[in-house]
């Protein structure tokens, strides 16, 4: 069982990932207004009867139950203590020190339940010279260097179009929880798993990081094209744009002659990266003779990896998306049948999972209390 004390996105995303894999997740929310994301909009969806629902909240809280608790009250603290005694995992993303002030320091949590795995997500880390800073996604994208790599030019640092720092911290956090639960099988004890929005961003710098740490280069924006592979990026055709990824010399040897680009000075990827502007111009000149459909067909014949740039309406009406289980239908307590983005994992030997809709605020107040009373009064096996 997972107790989700988090709000906004990083922690809720981690808890939702655990719920997708079958964990029971009980989300603790403040009475009256709940998770901050319940108020993040528009867009909102208004049921026939009841409070409006935020599409933001719906995106990151499937497969959870909602219980409202005032954690500053004696009653709320007592009920949380009871829940923690039965839990496997606690997810929290308070600023450093908040849990301590509520009476749930890490040492206290381990006293309540020595087997408890605690996932703590912060903005910039719980310690260090700036460990107390609050963290929001776009700030972390900037501070973590991602915005210096994204966008059309260095004069226009650009954020990723989704809250990627939050999402990455949530994914790393869920991964750490699973590892800690596995370790608990050996030791019998839980532990504290820590990550941050900053760590999530730095953790995916990949080859851009080693360009600096090893080669001493400071990477900058590459716009529509890959900084280390050429041609690899977004190109104009006669009536639209097409992406290609000529990611190996064998791909280049098939691609180049078909478009009149087989030049000795571009024989290797290193040569082409050095002369990227000339290569890009030559590719676009060749593509200008083709409409997008014909060009995509020709690229497929050559075995050149290629694709288009879809908007989200095109993505979610694409049969390939649904075929991969990336859309799910759920029954919401006030909105009825909803279609939501689904989990990104599938298991060949298991039937499709039946998912639960994100909860309304306090929807499970009574059922969770009744369950807690029953397990605490039942005789031990």
Same domain, 116 and 155: yes
Q: What is the pLDDT of residue 47?
A: 75
Residues 6 or more apart whose CB falls under 8 angstroms from that of 210 comprise: none
Q: 143 with 256, same domain?
A: no
Report the SS3 class of residue 341: strand
Question: What residues act catalytically?
Answer: 166
- Tell me the residue range of the domain where 244 lies: 232-309
- Domain count for the chain, please give it: 2
The pLDDT of residue 46 is 85
* 66 occurs within a structural domain: yes
Average pLDDT of adjacent 10-residue blocks, the chain of 381 residues? 97 97 97 94 81 92 97 96 97 93 95 97 94 91 96 90 97 98 97 97 96 95 92 95 96 97 96 96 96 96 96 96 94 94 90 90 96 84 58
The whole model's pTM is what? 0.92
Does residue 222 belong to any structural domain of this protein?
no
Q: Of 119, 67, 102, 110, nearest to 85 (Cα)?
A: 110
Cβ count near 44 (within 10 Å): 15
- 305 in any annotated domain: yes
Whether 80 and 170 share a structural domain = yes
d(CA 6, CA 9): 8
Residue 50: predicted pLDDT: 67
Give the model's pLDDT for residue 377: 85
Whether the CA torsion 371, 377, 379, 381 is positive or negative: it is positive
- Residue found under tokens 């000339």: 278
């Amino acid at each position: 069982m997972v107790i989700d004390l988090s709000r906004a996105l990083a922690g809720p995303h981690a808890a939702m990932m655990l719920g997708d894999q079958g964990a029971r997740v009980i989300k603790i929310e403040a009475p009256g207004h709940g998770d901050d994301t319940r108020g993040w909009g528009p867009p909102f969806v208004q049921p026939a009867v009841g409070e409006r629902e935020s599409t933001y909240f719906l995106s990151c809280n499937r497969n959870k139950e909602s219980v409202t608790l005032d954690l500053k009250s004696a009653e709320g603290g007592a009920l949380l203590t009871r829940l923690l005694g039965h839990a496997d995992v606690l997810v929290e993303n308070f600023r450093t020190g908040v849990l301590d002030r509520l009476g749930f320091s890490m040492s206290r949590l381990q006293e309540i339940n020595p087997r408890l795995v605690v996932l703590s997500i912060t903005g910039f880390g719980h310690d260090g010279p700036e460990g107390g800073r609050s963290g929001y996604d776009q700030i972390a994208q900037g501070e973590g260097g991602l915005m210096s790599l994204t966008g059309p030019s260095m004069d226009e640092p650009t954020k990723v179009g989704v809250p990627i720092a939050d999402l990455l911290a949530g994914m790393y956090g869920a991964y750490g929880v699973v590892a800690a639960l596995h370790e608990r099988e050996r030791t019998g004890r839980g532990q504290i798993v820590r990550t941050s929005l900053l760590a999530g961003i730095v953790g995916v710098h990949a080859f851009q990081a080693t360009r600096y740490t090893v080669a001493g280069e400071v990477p900058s924006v590459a716009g529509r094209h890959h900084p280390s592979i050429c041609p690899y990026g977004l190109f104009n055709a006669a009536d639209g744009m097409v992406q290609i990824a000529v990611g190996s010399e064998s791909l280049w040897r098939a691609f180049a002659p078909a478009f009149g680009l087989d030049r000795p000075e571009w024989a290797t990827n290193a040569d082409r990266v050095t002369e990227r502007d000339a290569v890009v111009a030559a590719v676009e000149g060749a593509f200008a003779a083709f409409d997008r459909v014909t060009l995509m067909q020709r690229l497929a014949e050559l075995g050149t990896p290629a694709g288009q740039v879809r908007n989200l309406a095109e993505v979610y009406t694409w049969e390939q998306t649904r075929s991969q289980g990336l859309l799910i239908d759920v029954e919401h307590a006030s909105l009825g049948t909803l279609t939501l983005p689904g989990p990104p994992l599938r298991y060949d030997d298991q039937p499709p999972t039946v998912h639960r809709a994100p909860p309304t605020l306090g929807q499970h107040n009574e059922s969770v209390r009744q369950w807690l009373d029953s397990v605490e009064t039942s005789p031990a096996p």
